[in-house]
Structure 1
């Protein structure tokens, strides 16, 4: 009987400990627009998906660093205040998926309302209406009305596909190493040394091509990639 009682107490203690791990509070360090570290725990904001740090978006004035800006927006919303997170679950990367706030309401909702993130429909539908409002008002990633917008999930998939392929070499006429790429951002060319140069693939069946000079690329209607 004593052994059974001891086992029950241990089980209850474990359950309480697991529940305690789902609620954390403390200083936060922003990693990107939907991920932060709170009191030493990596946290993924529930129900939203923000542009990746290296991601660019299309705007009325051309490509802009929406991924970097998204992280800066989360930092601004937190404003150095203590962050409290109520967990929903642990994901496969051992991050706590949680709703978080820093004294001014749900951080996930605020990020979507400002266009700094989108509703992550694959996992939740909580932020669909705030997203629609942000898109209507052309906030953040929607400043171009959503035209040619690559979602963070699509961007990650494209990056994984590019990394899985061997490096692409320039044509035999070597000097023509500028990549004219057709993507969601339109006709954009990448020069050697730019961040996205190596992962950009040229498919001539899609109208993509190599250029020898930037003047040649611009004359053909391509514009230089932001990075």
Structure 2
């Protein structure tokens, strides 16, 4: 009986560690550098290519959010914030393949700042797995979309006939491991409670 509890404790520690590991960096398939323009809150145009910022999801153009009784253009503001972050800086992107729509997936920096991280920290995007701590900080600070009520961008696209998008591959590995570990903990706990 004691061995089962010890295993459960070790499994829980392993789950905690797995949940707090940074996502692995996928193989770099290309690098781009230059002046970027913001297409929306999570996409850039750089050197004639459309780059989807990996690990974030921003409100869509045309999407509105609420602050109390006021409605604000959170999709347009997200694009404007990304434009501000890139303005006057050279943008450098490490590409990691393509999403299912053929867009380059990339982690991009401007002015030595990770654009995805900055978008999530400011509350103009939500994490797609890569920036969970930043999302928590934005939520606790009540900034950007977290300053009121909003529909998750993925849900907004679904209800407005937009493209269905799922979290990016590079960001979901820890979620799958955590899901498996949680299931193992439930199985072990049931065995311990049921005495066998």
Contact 1:26 1:38 in 2 (8 A): yes
Long gaps (5+) in structure 2: 1-26, 163-196
Q: 1:126 aligns with which of 123, 130, 135?
A: 130
Q: 1:38 aligns with which of 12, 31, 46?
A: 46
**Higher RCO, 1 vs 2 (CA within 8 Å, ≥6 residues apart):** 2
Match of 2:73 in 1: 65
TM-score by length of 2: 0.66
Match of 2:171 in 1: none
Task: Tell me by how many angstroms 1:60 deviates.
Answer: 2.3
Match of 1:113 in 2: 121
1:43-62 correspondence runs (5 A): 43-62=51-70
Is the helix fraction higher in 1 or 2?
Answer: 2
Alpha-carbon distance in 2 for matches of 1:37, 1:21: 17
Aligned residue pairs: how many? 136
Task: Tell me by how many angstroms 1:29 deviates.
Answer: 1.3
> Is the aligned partner of 1:96 residue 2:100?
no
Contact 2:64 2:150 in 1 (8 A): no
Contact 1:22 1:96 in 2 (8 A): no
Contact 2:35 2:90 in 1 (8 A): yes
Match of 1:137 in 2: 141
Moved segments of 4+, more than 6 Å: none
Match of 1:183 in 2: none
1:150-189 correspondence runs (5 A): 150-160=151-161
Long gaps (5+) in structure 1: 1-18, 162-227
Alpha-carbon distance in 2 for matches of 1:80, 1:53: 23
Deviations 1:81-112 (A, max 9, x none): 11100012211221111000012320000000
TM-score by length of 1: 0.57
Alpha-carbon distance in 1 for matches of 2:78, 2:84: 10
Alpha-carbon distance in 2 for matches of 1:139, 1:45: 20
Say what the alpha-carbon RMSD is for the aligned residues.
1.6
Q: 1:28 aligns with which of 24, 27, 36?
A: 36
Alpha-carbon distance in 1 for matches of 2:123, 2:28: 32
Which has the larger Rg?
1
Task: Tell me by how many angstroms 1:80 deviates.
Answer: 2.6
